[in-house]
Amino acid sequence: MNTAIQVLQALRDGQFHSGTGLGRELGISRAAVWKAVHKLQSEWALQIDAVSGRGYRLAESIGLLDAGRIRQASGLGPQLAALEILLATDSTNRRLLQAAAAGASSGTVILAEHQSAGRGRRGRRWESPFGRNLYLSLLWEFEAAASRLAGLSLAVAIAVVRALEAAGLSGLGLKWPNDVWWQERKLAGILLEMRGEVSGPWQVAIGIGLNVNMCGIGMDPAWVDVQTIQGAPADRDLLAGRLLAELFAVLARFQHDGLTPLLPEWRARDVSRNRPVALQFPDRTLHGVARGINGDGALLLESDGIVKPWHAGEVSLRHERGI
| Catalytic residue annotation | 121, 186, 318
Helix (H) / strand (E) element for 209: namely strand 202-210
CB-nearer residue toward ligand BTN: 11 or 204: 204
Q: How many CB atoms lie within 10 A of CB 239?
A: 23
Candidates 137, 203, 211, 272: give the one binding ligand BTN (CB under 6 A): 137
Q: Are 167 and 226 in contact (CB under 8 A)?
A: yes
Instruction: Report the distance separating Cα 90 and Cα 185, nearest Å.
Output: 26
CB-nearer residue toward ligand BTN: 74 or 93: 93
Q: Are 158 and 265 in contact (CB under 8 A)?
A: yes
Q: Give the 3-state secondary structure of residue 316.
A: strand
Q: Tell me if 313 contacts ligand BTN by CB under 6 A.
A: no
Q: How far is the CB of 13 from ligand BTN (least distance, A)?
A: 29
Candidates 107, 177, 209, 297: give the one binding ligand BTN (CB under 6 A): 209
CB-nearer residue toward ligand BTN: 74 or 89: 89
Candidates 56, 135, 182, 202: give the one binding ligand BTN (CB under 6 A): 135
Q: How far is the CB of 95 from ligand BTN (least distance, A)?
A: 8
Nearest one of 115, 164, 116, 158 to 137, comparing CA atoms: 115
Choose the stretch contacting ligand BTN; rule: CB under 6 A; options: 62-70, 205-213, 227-235, 287-295. Answer: 205-213
Q: Tell me if 115 contacts ligand BTN by CB under 6 A.
A: yes
Instruction: Report the distance separating Cα 160 and Cα 136, nearest Å.
Output: 12
Q: How far is the CB of 35 from ligand BTN (least distance, A)?
A: 25
Q: Are 187 and 180 in contact (CB under 8 A)?
A: yes
Nearest one of 288, 289, 292 to 275, comparing CA atoms: 289
Choose the stretch contacting ligand BTN; rule: CB under 6 A; options: 22-30, 60-68, 186-194, 279-287. Answer: 186-194
CB-nearer residue toward ligand BTN: 243 or 290: 243
Sorted by sequence, the CB contacts under 8 Å of residue 314 that are 6+ apart come out as: 121, 122, 279, 280, 281
Q: How many CB atoms lie within 10 A of CB 271?
A: 19
Q: Tell me if 120 contacts ligand BTN by CB under 6 A.
A: yes
Q: How far is the CB of 29 from ligand BTN (least distance, A)?
A: 32
Q: Tell me if 126 contacts ligand BTN by CB under 6 A.
A: yes
Candidates 23, 55, 173, 189: give the one binding ligand BTN (CB under 6 A): 189
Q: Give the 3-state secondary structure of residue 225.
A: coil
Instruction: Report the distance separating Cα 157 and Cα 168, nearest Å.
Output: 17
Q: What residues numbered 142-181 form the site for ligand BTN, per CB under 6 A?
A: 179
Q: How far is the CB of 312 from ligand BTN (least distance, A)?
A: 14
Q: What residues numbered 89-108 form the site for ligand BTN, per CB under 6 A?
A: 91-93
User: Does residue 264 have a cis peptide bond before it, meaning omega lies within 30 degrees of 0?
Assistant: no
